[in-house]
Amino acid sequence: MTNSFLGDMQTVVRGQVESLTRYEIDGDNKGGSIWVSKPNTGKNPNNLGNELIKIKMPFEMFDQKKAEVEAGKLYFPCQMEIKCEISMGGQNKAVLTALSMKVDGPDPEQETGKDKPELGTAQITGSKPPNKP
């Protein structure tokens, strides 16, 4: 279903990807999710800790990223750049669906020896926090 209001809107999300999940129901309905965290804004008194944003992901993208994890090229959590399509979901809410995703920062293959984090360690970008040298 095409929504002329949204057309071909796209956006880029940059953030801390905590995990990827996927599902398959009866072989017909399948997909995945990218779970991105951000600091708590304090706007929701019913949320403690980081806020989570769910981005839909094609089922096949999970296998691509799993292969990168198994090859040691990617590990979670990590900072990523996710190119997303914006579409209309239930209750007229916007739904983000990933078109592509890549590490947002130094290439993990370029990191060697003492620079390469242990498995399970957050992968970070080369960017510096504001007002820090």
User: What is the sign of the dihedral through the CA atoms of 58, 33, 123 and 119?
Assistant: negative
Listed in sequence order, the residues at least 6 apart from 119 whose beta carbon sits closer than 8 Å to its beta carbon are 75
Specify the pTM.
0.71
Q: pLDDT, tens digit, for every residue of 30-77? A: 999 999 998 999 999 999 999 999 999 999 999 999 999 999 999 999
In a domain, 38, yes or no: yes
CATH of the domain at 33: 2.40.50.140
- Full residue range of the structural domain in which residue 32 is found: 10-106
In a domain, 33, yes or no: yes
Count of domains observed in the chain: 1
